[in-house]
Chain A
Amino acid sequence: MRIGPVELERRPTPSWNWVLTVSALAILLALALAAVIFWSYGVSPLRAYAVIIRGTLLNARALPEIVRNMIPLLLAGVGLVLAFRALFWNIGAEGQILLGATAATWVALFSPVPDGWKLPVMFLAGFIGGAAWGLIPALLRLRFAVNEVISTLMMNYIAVYLVSWLIHGPWKGPEMRGFAFTDAFPEAAQIPVIPGTRIHWLTLLLGIALAIAVAFLLKRTRAGFEIRVQGENADAARYAGIDPARTLLLVMIVAGGAAGLAGVGEVAGIHRRLLDPNQISLGFGYAAIIVAWLARGSPLAVVLTSLFLGIVFASGDVMRVALQMPARVTDVFNGLILFCLIGSERLLYWRVRWAGHP
């Protein structure tokens, strides 16, 4: 099909080159639209973008925070990539993060695990906690045909109130003088950070390892093959004798567990205690959905997309401080970027050529 000087033809699978180009163009479009917001606040859009770029990409001190934000997004995002591949719409990463955090807190503060073993057991417990929380909606769907959007959503609320009960009640520590916090984790239960930053690098390595492991699972194992077929064509899967229950359970164990690991990282690497649930999950569970979608089904790409989202959040922070703009501006800004990226998805399946090329 020809539109003016440009020739369009379909392509079934886009190359990464093309994906990046289209995405970059979409972001530029979003930035152009967002210029309206800056202009309405009396800030010159060009100056605004200069400030943002200076504050994020060109600022060495901004990088640590970007990576800090990337860690939970990476972990939860990898899990969600798997879940979405199986067409299980897990909106419950927030709750799974919280259960991972809770399990880790129990190990850190209330279990007889010796110091040297605390961190590994915390990660294990967190994985199990998150996996259990993710398994419940999976079982509800398999056994009772309950739609997972509603069950995972409800589980989020229940998780929030569970943590709330713990920090206001049995687990409230005397250290914080009656405020709703547990006591601080002992040193052995704290994930070390890169000095001068808040990057709890152990969790970061874990995330990268998980991305590689899940990529391997999907591409090279039978289980992964079953998951992919189940997601792409349920009928074909049935004819091939693939058990949908088994694939779903496996997927949700990994997805819930990954989010649980993110929760461990937050609570043992950043806060070093259990606190108000909204402060732990900080919307990462929802942002991870976006991270997973941007990765277009590739667990390895989640490393990049979580970094990207970290940069987007960082730019929002710069807007609020350097440009003194209201906090909600970042929601509009991020929403615009998302809309443009979402809208550009269709373009990925077309190839654009200059018709006048020799």
Chain B
Amino acid sequence: MMEEWIIHTIVRGLALGTPLIWAALGEVYAERSGVVNLGVEGMMVLGAIAAFALAQSTGLPYLGLLVAAGAGAAAAMLHAVLVISLRANQYVSGLALTMFGLGLSALLGRRWEGLPLLATLPEISLLTYGGLALAIVLWFVLYHTRWGILIRSAGEAPAAVDTMGVNVFLVRYLAVAFGGALAGVGGGLLSVAYRPSWTEGMTVGLGWIAIAIAIFASWDPLRAVAGAFFFGALFHLSFRLQTWISPEPLQMMPFAFTILVLALTTRRGRGAQGAPEALGLPYVRGER
């Protein structure tokens, strides 16, 4: 009985965790390079409609996910131009992107509403394992390769990157675009695997959860996987446990738990909150 509970919860954690892992990994990389992107919800939902539309019309869900990655990257580029080259406020730009993405996806998705998708992916698919593998790869790249050093430096001490002769803007652009692509895939997984259908706003706040997971993970890819998985598991449990515990406090549980774990485990020392030093600050050559 206990094993059934554990196995089932693990499976559910992976199921909801898959789209969250992809989106969170993307946000980890983007923020590591020093750019806050609060537009994950917008990028995910754009990825969701792109993937659904493609999968529905071509019958190829993987193609849908590929296009979703493109959609997410394109949306992220909008944010990137505004905050990197035009040095705008990153928090507001991300919010605008979320708003815009939700609106645009709803308009584009009108004709796809109310249709069941035939070409679906299972909720635990190649992309689940792919996501885990990606996390390991991204962790390795981040900590053990030159690329990773550049990305991390762009986030911690951009001037250092500059003196190495590498273009900080380029590193940040690539990181943000990459983050967008992964967010798009995460959204696509929602509409093609997790809940194969399209309704406007179907990301129901999961993009914000992905941002939270990235921060929760102290911007580490492996911890992000753990965070995504745990959130999925807790979210599921908040329904499983309704038999014994009143529903309303249960619904609070995943969120309160997140704060509690953070409070108990965040390490001091690396920046004020473990954040990349230059997170949220535009880089101006010659000024620092």
A154 at the B interface (CB under 8 A): yes
Give A34 to B273 CA distance when docked, in angstroms. 40
Could you tell me the distance in whole angstroms from the C-beta of B235 to the nearest C-beta in chain A? Answer: 11
- Tell me the chain A residues, 156-186 only, with Cβ under 8 Å from chain B: 157-158, 161-162, 164-165, 168-169
Q: How many CB-defined contacts (below 8 Å) exist between A and B?
A: 143
Give A160 to B244 CA distance when docked, in angstroms. 22
Give A343 to B251 CA distance when docked, in angstroms. 39
The digit string for B155-197, where 1 denotes a CB below 8 A from any CB of A, is 0000000000000000000000000000000000000000000
Are B96 and A151 within 8 A (Cβ)? no
Could you tell me the distance in whole angstroms from the C-beta of B219 to the nearest C-beta in chain A? Answer: 10
Chain A binding surface, main DSSP class: helix
Could you tell me the distance in whole angstroms from the C-beta of B267 to the nearest C-beta in chain A? Answer: 8
Partner of A343, one of B82, B248, B273: B82
- Tell me the chain B residues, 224-256 only, with Cβ under 8 Å from chain A: 246, 248-249, 251-252, 255-256
Give A338 to B92 CA distance when docked, in angstroms. 8
Give A336 to B97 CA distance when docked, in angstroms. 9
A interface, how many residues as a size bin? 35 or more
Residues of B within 8 A of A158 (CB): 252, 255-256
Are B100 and A335 within 8 A (Cβ)? yes
Give A131 to B224 CA distance when docked, in angstroms. 31
Known contacts A146-B273, A326-B106, A338-B96, A165 near B259 by CB under 8 Å: no
Are A342 and B92 within 8 A (Cβ)? yes
Are A328 and B103 within 8 A (Cβ)? yes
Task: Output the nearest chain A residue to B271 by Cβ-Cβ distance.
Answer: A145
Task: Output the nearest chain B residue to A40 by Cβ-Cβ distance.
Answer: B107
Are A332 and B107 within 8 A (Cβ)? yes
Task: Output the nearest chain A residue to B85 by Cβ-Cβ distance.
Answer: A346
Give A165 to B256 CA distance when docked, in angstroms. 15
Are B100 and A339 within 8 A (Cβ)? yes
Give A337 to B208 CA distance when docked, in angstroms. 23
B263 at the A interface (CB under 8 A): yes
Are B103 and A141 within 8 A (Cβ)? no
Are A153 and B106 within 8 A (Cβ)? no
Give A153 to B91 CA distance when docked, in angstroms. 13
Are A336 and B92 within 8 A (Cβ)? no
The digit string for A69-83, where 1 denotes a CB below 8 A from any CB of B, is 000000000000000
Residues of B within 8 A of A153 (CB): 208, 211-212
Are B103 and A343 within 8 A (Cβ)? no
Residues of A within 8 A of B95 (CB): 286, 289-290, 338
- Tell me the chain A residues, 125-159 only, with Cβ under 8 Å from chain B: 140-141, 143-151, 153-155, 157-158
Are B100 and A332 within 8 A (Cβ)? yes
Are A161 and B251 within 8 A (Cβ)? yes
Task: Output the nearest chain B residue to A327 by Cβ-Cβ distance.
Answer: B106
Known contacts A145-B272, A146-B266, A150-B212, A293 near B89 by CB under 8 Å: yes
Give A293 to B92 CA distance when docked, in angstroms. 7
Give A145 to B215 CA distance when docked, in angstroms. 12
Are B255 and A154 within 8 A (Cβ)? yes
A7 at the B interface (CB under 8 A): no
A18 at the B interface (CB under 8 A): no
Partner of A140, one of B101, B211, B263, B267: B263
B274 at the A interface (CB under 8 A): yes
Are B274 and A345 within 8 A (Cβ)? no
Residues of A within 8 A of B97 (CB): 335
Residues of B within 8 A of A115 (CB): none
Known contacts A331-B102, A339-B82, A343-B82, A289 near B91 by CB under 8 Å: yes
Known contacts A145-B268, A328-B200, A342 near B96 by CB under 8 Å: yes
Known contacts A150-B258, A157-B252, A343-B82, A331 near B208 by CB under 8 Å: no
Q: List residues of A whose CB falls within 8 A of some B CB.
A: 37, 89, 91, 140-141, 143-151, 153-155, 157-158, 161-162, 164-165, 168-169, 286, 289-290, 293, 326, 328-336, 338-339, 342-343, 345-346
A sample of 22 cross-chain residue pairs with beta-carbon separation below 8 angstroms, ordered by A number, consists of A140-B262, A144-B266, A145-B266, A145-B267, A145-B274, A146-B266, A149-B36, A149-B211, A154-B255, A157-B255, A168-B248, A289-B95, A329-B103, A329-B107, A331-B99, A331-B106, A334-B99, A334-B103, A342-B89, A342-B93, A343-B86, A345-B86
Besides the contacts A143-B263, A147-B215, A330-B103, what 12 more A-B pairs have beta carbons closer than 8 Å?
A: A89-B280, A91-B38, A149-B38, A149-B211, A150-B211, A153-B208, A157-B252, A158-B255, A326-B107, A334-B103, A335-B97, A335-B100
Q: List residues of B whose CB falls within 8 A of some A CB.
A: 36, 38, 78, 81-82, 86-89, 91-93, 95-97, 99-104, 106-107, 110, 200, 208, 211-212, 215-216, 246, 248-249, 251-252, 255-256, 258-259, 262-264, 266-268, 272-275, 280
